[in-house]
Amino acid sequence: MTRGRIAWVLALALALGSDPGSVAAFPTKVGSDPLFVPQASAAQSSRPRSQTHVVTIDGFAFKPPVVTVKAGDTIEWRNDDPVPHTATSTSGGFDSGSIAAGATYRWVARKPGRFDYLCTFHTIMKGTVVVE
């Protein structure tokens, strides 16, 4: 329960667009307490639990075309074009359906793997998500 709640708070903090470095809600005084140092430095060196990676759909292209993420990360597609697009994996995983002009679609990458995807409306548009 507690872990779940912490994860939720972290996810919320990330979703609100806060700096991943400021995720820790209670600042620790690094170095002030010798007993705290190993733990604090471990927390500092570790990556935030999950990140959001933005793929912009612009000019009938996915930018960047390849994103490499960690399991648990979120990929957000933002459609900056004046027409609808989709982000549809050809090997399962995700299918956004129609993303209207100006809209976004989010997918949480749970399992490692390589996901090639395309826009089913404009199959000339291709991209890849690599989940490590």
Partner 1 sequence: MKTVPLALAAAFFAASIAAHAQGGPNDAQIAAIVVTANQVDIDAGKLAESKATHKDVKAFGKMMVTDHTGVNKSAKDLVKKLGVKPEDNPTAESLKKGGQENVAHLKTLKGDAFDKAYIDHEVVYHQQVIDAMDNTLIPSAHNAELKALLVKVRPAFVAHLDHAKKLQSEYGK
Does 60 interact with partner 1 (rule: CB under 8 A)?
Answer: yes
Does 64 interact with partner 1 (rule: CB under 8 A)?
Answer: no
Contacting residues for 70 by C-beta, under 8 A, at least 6 apart: 47, 50, 51, 109, 131, 132
- Contact flags string 16-55 toward partner 1, x per CB under 8 A: ----------------------------------------
Does 83 interact with partner 1 (rule: CB under 8 A)?
Answer: yes
**Binding footprint of partner 1, residue count (CB under 8 A):** 14
Q: Tell me how far apart the alpha carbons of residues 39 and 119 are, in angstroms, rounded to a whole number.
A: 45
* Segment interacting with partner 1, rule: CB under 8 A, options 14-22, 56-64, 87-95, 107-115: 56-64
The residue ranges of DSSP E strands in the chain, in sequence order, are: 52-57, 62-63, 66-69, 74-79, 88-89, 104-108, 113-118, 126-131
Does 82 interact with partner 1 (rule: CB under 8 A)?
Answer: yes
Among 10, 11, 76, 121, binds partner 1 (CB under 8 A): 121
Q: Are 25 and 88 in contact (CB under 8 A)?
A: no
User: Residue 64: helix, strand or coil by DSSP?
Assistant: coil
Residue by residue, DSSP assigns 67-84 as: EEE-TT-EEEEEE-SSS-
Among 11, 23, 40, 61, binds partner 1 (CB under 8 A): 61
* Segment interacting with partner 1, rule: CB under 8 A, options 5-13, 16-24, 68-76, 120-128: 120-128
Binding residues (CB under 8 A) for partner 1: these are: 58-61, 81-84, 101, 121-125
